[in-house]
Homo-oligomer: A and B are copies of this chain.
Amino acid sequence: MSVQYIGKQSICFNNPPKILCGGCVAGEKESQGPLGQGQYGNTFDEVVMDPMCGKNSWEEAESELQYMASNIAIEKSGLKKENIRYIFAGDLLGQNMATSFGVGSLGIPLFGLYGACSTMGESLCLAAMTISGGFASHAMAVASSHFASAEKTFRFPLGYGSQRKMSATWTVTGSGAVILSDTSGFAKITAITPGKIIDYDFKDKENMGAAMAPAAADTIYHHLTDLGIKANHYDKIITGDLGYVGQTILIDLLKEKDIDISKVHMDCGIEIFDKETQDTHSGGSGCGCSAVVLCGHLFNLLKRKKLKKILFIPTGALLSPSSSNEGLSIPSIAHAVAIEADS
């Protein structure tokens, strides 16, 4: 064992884990957006037109999305599910309900995670450490969200027809699963920067982008500082679901630290929906947002070498229905994962 940590909070892998494959499933609305039909064609492995996925509740539907995405990834990998040693997975629901009923039935040892919309970053960090540390030859990272289960949990029942603020985002219905390997893949995870909680005492749950931007700024700042690199080291620095409002704040916050990411910044929440036609206000959000954009669109670009080095930073707003109702702030967190296409 040799020391692999660097700076304040980053890890550079001596033995970078490989990305073997990903699987993703998205809902109807996502399929009608730029990543479902547009210049890139359909970037999702599967599209589910029934929002209930043939189940009895929104939560069970979300579980089904996780199960489907995981099975697609396993099928693509050519492995048997028994070869996936550990799963790292989470969702937005209380007590990780979509995960427990989703990937539970695969019969693979599970680490349940809660990082809100940062979950795909958290799960990739832990799966990468697991592979690089020699604790498994294959591990899977999974995250999901569902528009209806999230609205029910954090906002209002859909039947109320509540109006949404222009700063609000639209929770993506979808799930992504990534299989990491110690031997082969089309890309590798070279470094990670797990984030710490940042709390600016911001309380508007209809403006998650503003709540999460400071956490993204902090993690990006520490990542670049720890590794001694500039923003242009990466072809793209890709946040999870800051949306239009959060993007502006993130760029401004980093400018205060003399870091300019404006030319390389991309946000999964901005990419997934069409601003003009889809009525999603500030953009997409949810654990599933960065998960499906990564496993579909971004993996495609890495495979085709259209992107060679990216920093992927899913962002999470750690509010709960109780914390909102009790008038507390929205603590946020962001985990960064540096990915390089195989040369």
Q: Which A residues contact B (CB, under 8 angstroms)? A: 1-5, 9, 11, 14-15, 56-57, 59-60, 85-86, 90, 92-97, 99-101, 103-105, 107-116, 122, 125-126, 129-130, 132-137, 153, 194-197, 199, 318-323, 326, 328, 331, 333
Contact = CB atoms under 8 A, between A and B. Distances in A.
A101 B134 contact: no
Contacts of A129: 129-130, 133, 135
A130 B1 CA distance: 11
Contacts of A11: 135
Contact of A114 (B96, B196, B199, B323): B96
A110 B136 CA distance: 23
B94 A134 contact: no
Contacts of A4: 133-135
Contact of A319 (B95, B194, B319): B95
Copies in the complex: 2
Contacts of A101: 323, 328, 331
A122 B111 contact: yes
Contacts of A318: 95-96, 100, 104, 112
A197 to B, nearest CB: 3
A100 B197 contact: yes
B112 A115 contact: yes
Contacts of A1: 1, 14-15, 132-134
Given A57-B322, A95-B116, 9 more contacts: A3-B134, A5-B134, A11-B135, A94-B320, A95-B323, A97-B322, A101-B331, A112-B122, A126-B126
A58 to B, nearest CB: 9
Given A104-B199, A133-B132, A197-B100, A59 B326 contact: yes
Given A1-B134, A133-B135, A136-B5, A109 B323 contact: no
Contacts of A126: 111, 126
A108 B197 CA distance: 8
